[in-house]
A and B are shown apart, each in its own frame.
Chain A
Amino acid sequence: MRETVKSKAGVPMEPTTPSRFTTLETERAELAAQQELLLASLMAQGKPPADIDEAQIKATASSLLRKRARCISRHLPAIANDRTYCGKIKEYVALIAQKIIDPTASS
């Protein structure tokens, strides 16, 4: 662990990002592009990345949806009885995700 940085008044300061961790720009850009595609396909009904099997994307998206549904129904048990509930969550997540990706898009 590195030493705590202190201001002139001796107050500990939040550590800043060391410059030696700002390398790997190419690797980070490549990774970001791959991850954005996967996230969009899982959450915003985007096109799946070419290097991931489409059936696996669907299974992951479905699993994520059930996880969210379980989480929400734990807090709001009555909603779990609504059979259309999962579909509504799916629509909601996709809508929010699409708005994040493109704020100018109409809903």
Chain B
Amino acid sequence: MFAHDIPKLGIGWRPELAVAIERRSDLEFVEIVAENWSVQELPEPLLRLHNRGLTVIPHGVSLSLGGARLPDLKRIKRLNELASRFNSPFVSEHIAFVRGQRLDSGHLLPVPRTRSAVKVLVENISFCKEHLKVPLVLENIAYLCDWKNSELDEAEFVSEILEATDSMMLLDLANLMANSFNHNFDPVAFLKKIPLQRMAYVHIAGGVMHNGLYHDTHAHPVPTEVHKLLVKLCDFRRPPMIMLERDDSFPQAEILNEELDAIRFATSQVPMEAR
């Protein structure tokens, strides 16, 4: 294995983690939640990381790509501004809807996996891509409720959207693990079915069991099942970049470093095809 095969390690930048992130020398990129920052008011620790050479990826959570209306140009503009400020190679968003005509859930919700909804998603994503200055990378979400009228399984749904819009993917393994557990499907079969050559980067996060369901909280340790899935993914194809997400119940630096080390370890193993 060559050094350039080892995925770049990153983390979701949060103010609460700023010191621990800055002290860690092997991180090569950070992801920021686009809605939380404007180019006029960027935190100094984040700017220092950027000046140190770390890539900064703006990550949207409110474009509502799967909404019935075209995405809002103001939200696209914010992504553009942040991408320009940090010279980001791309921005990312979710295959989800957040709001309807009247209500805004402030949460990523699943789009019905129908041919009809795929058409709308493809048009919305194409609209965004026309207005974005950098590529738009698409992420699979975690969902507790699912549509019974689905014409496509999740892998088919994601694959069709990626292919139709010629997009790269942000593969969230924690979301995949959560969905496979809560909705009873094989996560490895999912990995085999999606176009892994379109994988731009990977999210890893923790969660917790609650009332028989797995909740992707980003506030708990990364479970073994997600690490196992990561090793399996690397057997199929090693992601170019991989990062940890932690959004709440922030741990001490040594715990955070252990979680990052575990990701580093899992992605440094020799893939099956090279053995």
A residues in contact (CB < 8 Å) with B: 1-2, 14-15, 17-18, 21-24, 26-32, 34-36, 38-40, 42-44, 51-53, 56-57, 59-60, 63-64, 67-68, 70, 74, 97, 100-101
Contacts and interface: CB of A to CB of B under 8 A. Distances in A.
Nearest to B118: A27
Interface stretch (B95-103, B158-166, B257-265): B95-103
B102 A100 contact: yes
Q: Name the 5 nearest CB pairs between A and B, nearest first.
A: A32-B68, A56-B145, A39-B103, A31-B68, A60-B144
A36 B117 contact: no
Interface of B: 66-70, 73, 97, 99-103, 105-107, 109, 111-112, 116-117, 119-120, 123, 126-127, 129-133, 143-149, 211, 213, 215, 219, 248
Contacts of B105: 39, 42-43, 64
Nearest to A98: B103
A53 B133 contact: no
A51 B148 contact: yes
Contact of A70 (B111, B117, B123, B219): B219
15 contacts: A1-B130, A15-B73, A15-B130, A18-B127, A24-B123, A27-B119, A31-B112, A32-B100, A34-B147, A39-B100, A51-B147, A53-B146, A59-B144, A60-B144, A63-B215
Contacts of B106: 68
B131 A35 contact: no
A27 B69 CA distance: 11
Contact of A17 (B70, B100, B111, B120): B70
A60 B109 CA distance: 9
A56 B144 contact: yes
A102 B85 CA distance: 42
A30 B148 contact: no
Given A1-B131, A59-B145, 14 more contacts: A1-B133, A14-B73, A15-B73, A18-B127, A24-B119, A35-B97, A36-B100, A38-B109, A39-B102, A39-B109, A42-B109, A59-B211, A63-B144, A64-B107
Contacts of B127: 17-18, 21
Nearest to B68: A32
Q: Which of B66, B103, B117, B130 lies at the interface centre, i.e. has the most chain A CB atoms within 10 A of its CB?
A: B103
A53 B120 contact: no
A18 B123 CA distance: 11
B217 to A, nearest CB: 8
A52 B103 contact: no
Contacts of B215: 63
A67 B109 CA distance: 14
Contact of A27 (B117, B143, B144, B147): B117
Contacts of B107: 64, 67
Contacts of B102: 36, 39, 100-101
B132 A1 contact: yes
A38 B145 contact: yes
Given A1-B130, A51-B149, A100-B103, A31 B144 contact: no
A43 B67 CA distance: 17
A30 B133 CA distance: 31
A52 B145 contact: yes
A1 B211 CA distance: 46
B67 to A, nearest CB: 7
A53 B184 CA distance: 15
